[in-house]
Amino acid sequence: MKRKKNIGIVSHDNRKSDMIEWVSWNWKELIPHSLICTGTTGTLVEETIIQKCKDNDEVPPSITKLKSGPLGGDQQLGALIAEGEVDMLIFFWDPMQPQPHDVDVKALLRISVLYNIPTASNRSTADFLISSVLFHDEYIPVLKDYSAYITREVNL
């Protein structure tokens, strides 16, 4: 993981205002990095950061917008994690509202654990991640070798 991180940002509908408030508060920490967002979250994050950068004579970061979560954005983000293209995930999910794409949400969270990327599912954890001394430094995560699981399945 290089100093400049690729940060995945996702939020469910009922958490979008929380995400935008968090981005607005932390925009200076985010602008040195590349952001990869799903659907509407990406548009809202982009608008927020561009306005903050404009107001403060800063250059906005690269923001990649994927499809909306229910239309495959969560799966796109998961694929990027599996390819090593995402270093960290900030995912404000709604624990009180069932999602039509719950299986995709679960798959995204599973893949973030499988590839051992820092993952925040609430504001407190996102605050801890972004304020960590490791946030702007290089970091080499330890990856577990899961090949034994695959070999065991093939032999069954």
Q: What is the pLDDT of residue 117?
A: 96
Q: What is the pLDDT of residue 114?
A: 95
Q: Full-prediction pTM beyond 0.85? A: yes
33 Cβ partners below 8 Å, 6+ apart? Answer: 4, 5, 6, 7, 61
Q: In whole angstroms, how far apart are CA 109 and each of 2, 32, 51, 135, 155?
A: 22, 25, 30, 20, 28
pLDDT in tens, 83-104: 999 999 999 988 887 777 778 8
Active site residue 74: yes
pLDDT interval class at 1 (50, 70, 90): confident
Catalytic residue among 13, 18, 74, 102: 74
Q: What is the pLDDT of residue 107?
A: 92
If residue 37 lies in a helix (H) or strand (E), which one and from where to where? strand 34-38
pLDDT in tens, 38-78: 999 999 999 999 999 999 999 999 899 999 988 999 999 99
The dotted CATH code for 6-155 is: 3.40.50.1380
Q: Which amino acid is at 15?
A: R
In total, the chain counts a number of residues equal to 156
